[in-house]
Structure 1
């Protein structure tokens, strides 16, 4: 079926062709049937009106084929564009979380063993790949991801050599370590940003090593952020 816009255009073209045929029939090479030239092999010479309609019909068919071809081409391009857009939307993955949202400063740690840091306050979780229940980010697709961790503590303890420290882990292996030795002031912080290649299903967590402590409140000093830079799967 012809596209509605193409039908309107073709109607206008046919109207112009009919006007042109009415005022310029000699342009198509028609001659008087009484001419002495051989007309038996050309039926158009015997019926000029029918021949004009035949010529216009052929032109109309050509234009219809052209418009149908153009419409099919545009429809194909539009379909591919929609598929690419949907694929892009499905591949989006980004999250950013903080330790807590308490009005007063609360600390996590120190513990005798390594503990998974429970980032509970969610800024964004596009794709729902970060779980606040497990504090694990699971890569939805294979690709290159940007991961960032910031830790902070506000504890003044002379017996604690590391006030703030953490390990960024991928599938149980440390890819970045954030140690911060205690200084002269009670506040300590550290930040790391890395780009890593992950496979679909890889799990990323932030661990608090034994003896370390982090503290946070509404200021959100402790954050864990990640997003997909580009996919590597087909």
Structure 2
């Protein structure tokens, strides 16, 4: 807009001198010979008449362009920094695990007391909340968690009794369970999923009740997993 105003101003100043001959050449000569004060002190007559869009505003426009470029680059840098910060925060609250029982040639159980099941084959353990040696998950931070477990067992021989009961425990108390007690099935499986609210340090594990057993090729079929859905304030 400044460039257009500048050109119009000059044309208005020199119009009287070129009224008889209004060619571009005459306008150029008249503008170049003008000795009065111009609102555009850096007016370049040669530039203005030969290159479209080139005028005394070019320097100002270049400065504006540079300012915009630097602001965009600074904004881009800040966005990347924000992204890194978000990733750091998310990494700090990422809690999830999944594990399974390894292959056993003999049955797991029976035991004289209820026993935590050792899911010792870890697929991943983000947040290091799960202890594969004990089979116990300890919440590293308070929040709402999702837990799932699957159970599989197969009797040793025809006519043997399918006899197991598995419970998901929270801080020593049973939350959900699954079981089988019959002689009709040679093998069976089941699963459970539950949402639990935990305080920091709260413990969750899956246990086999006393007197029960899990048999057969249980590798990869008996699993335990959990994940933080969202953290809560302490």
The verdict on a shared fold, with TM-score over 0.5 as the criterion, is yes
Larger radius of gyration: 2
Cα distance in 1 between the residues matched to 2:214 and 2:148: 16
Gaps of 5+ in 2: 14-30, 45-53
Cα distance in 1 between the residues matched to 2:101 and 2:120: 6
CA RMSD of aligned residues (A): 3.7
Structure 2 SS opposite 1:108: coil
Measured against aligned partners, the alpha-carbon deviations of 1:46-94 in whole angstroms (never above 9, x if no partner) come to x746xx9974433333222222222222222222122223333443333
Q: Alpha-carbon deviation of 1:108?
A: 1.8
* Number of the residue aligned with 1:77: 79
Structure 2 SS opposite 1:107: coil
* Number of the residue aligned with 1:185: 185
Question: Would you say 1:27 and 2:7 are equivalent positions?
Answer: yes
Whether contact under 8 Å (1:109, 1:213) holds in the other structure is yes
* 1:52-201 to 2 correspondences below 5 Å: 55-102=57-104, 104=105, 106-155=106-155, 163-201=163-201
Query: Normalising by the residue count of structure 1, what TM-score does the alignment of the two structures yield?
Result: 0.68
Whether contact under 8 Å (1:95, 1:225) holds in the other structure is yes
Q: Alpha-carbon deviation of 1:205?
A: 0.9
Whether contact under 8 Å (2:40, 2:56) holds in the other structure is no
1:112–1:43 CA distance, 2 compared to 1 (3 A): closer
Cα distance in 2 between the residues matched to 1:120 and 1:29: 86
